[in-house]
Amino acid sequence: MIAPADLAHCAEAIRTGSHSFHAASRLLPGRVRAPALVLYAFCRLADDAVDETEAKASAVLRLRDRLDLCYLGRPQNAPEDRAFAAMVADYEMPQALPEALLEGFAWDAEGRQYDSLSGVLAYSARVAAAVGAMMCVLMRVRDSDRLARACDLGLAMQLTNIARDVGEDARAGRLYLPRDWLRGAGVVPSAFLEDPRHTPAIAGVTCRLLGEAARLYARADAGVAALPLSCRPGIAAARQIYSAIGDCVARSGYDSITGRARTSGRRKAVLAVRAFAGAAVASVWPNAATLHAAPTPEVAFLVAAARRDAPARVPRSEAMLDILTQLAQNDRQSRA
């Protein structure tokens, strides 16, 4: 069981660190909201630990160790770690899912850029769709179809984040837009990173990325409609709040370099109420063709890992071991 004091710590971390999820989580039933707050707090704090330091390799390796201890039932003496370990035990969370998140952080530590949309989706699968799959586990939803649609929602949300943060990322030396799209629009990726400016070409690429997000949101809607009735309003609210961020980017002329799109607290409240009302009257028969569509290729491994018949623990993949080994070497060199 999650200790009340640890849960309170996680809830406060989300209240101040992830306004969109905090707003949506109020509509989740208590049996899901509590572990979801723990999950998001751990993921948020882990993301900040990697993102807010120059020693990213070292931060990823520390996160690896924290995850290992959680799954051994011996978490570090920190509220988010203790709560996460309790959540893992209570819900039999497959280790491959937070491992995927760890791999995404490792890709960031390597400074990866992505040549195609498929590469961006592979990254988004790890840092966002994995969280969608973990949310399904917390809702006791572990069939392939609904897992696939939850992963679609995670992908859509991450593409929205990328579109919103083009300027902020570029000024930090990060680039998540597909490089082949940039080159096709006449943008040299290295030159853009050196001098990130809003241009019609960058606006066009951002618009195109949000178009992909809209397609994935539409696929995800069938999964939201198929969730347990008590869970639909919270997930529908998260979907509406995140897609509204993309709407803000569009209204700015797809300029996410000069400023950063935000939705006000009042707007989030309106969207949450609308989502609640919509979920309450939603048909219990979602679009069958969309619901049963095959997983997006980049998230198929997450769906397989989260299914009820999947093993709870699997060895780390060769690719993951290679990344961690390289990060360890880089970390040692930086300390020499």
Band (pLDDT 50/70/90 cuts) for residue 124 is very high
Q: Measured between alpha carbons, how far is 58 from 66 in angstroms, rounded to an integer?
A: 12
| Alpha carbons 159 and 176: distance in angstroms, whole number | 9
Could you give the CA distance from residue 14 to residue 221 in angstroms, rounded to a whole number?
Answer: 25
Closest CA to 1 of 101, 78, 85, 95: 85
Q: From residue 24, give the alpha-carbon distance in Å to each of 55, 112, 120.
A: 33, 31, 26
- The answer to whether 55 and 333 are in contact (CB under 8 A) is no
Look up the pTM and report it: 0.92
pLDDT-based confidence at 282, cuts 50/70/90?
Answer: low
Task: Report whether pLDDT(145) > 90.
Answer: yes
Q: How many Å apart are CA 119 and CA 100, to the nearest integer?
A: 15
Query: Tens of pLDDT along 164-217?
Result: 999 999 999 999 999 999 999 999 999 999 999 999 999 999 999 999 999 999
Cα diameter, the chain: 62
* CA separation for the pair 148, 244 (Å, rounded): 22
| pLDDT-based confidence at residue 102 (cuts at 50, 70, 90) | very high
Residue 58, SS3 per DSSP: helix
DSSP state of 125: I
Least confident of 207-216, 267-276, 285-294, 309-318: 267-276
Q: State pLDDT tens for residues 230-277.
A: 999 889 988 988 999 999 999 999 999 998 877 666 766 666 666 665
Number of structural domains, the chain? 1
Percent of the chain whose pLDDT exceeds 70: 91
Write the burial class of residue 11 (CB in 10 Å: 0-12 exposed, 13-18 middle, 19+ buried): middle
Q: Which residue has the tokens 């769709």?
A: 129
Give residue 310's domain range. 4-335
The CATH number of residue 117's host domain is 1.10.600.10
Integer-rounded Cα Rg, in Å, for the chain is 19
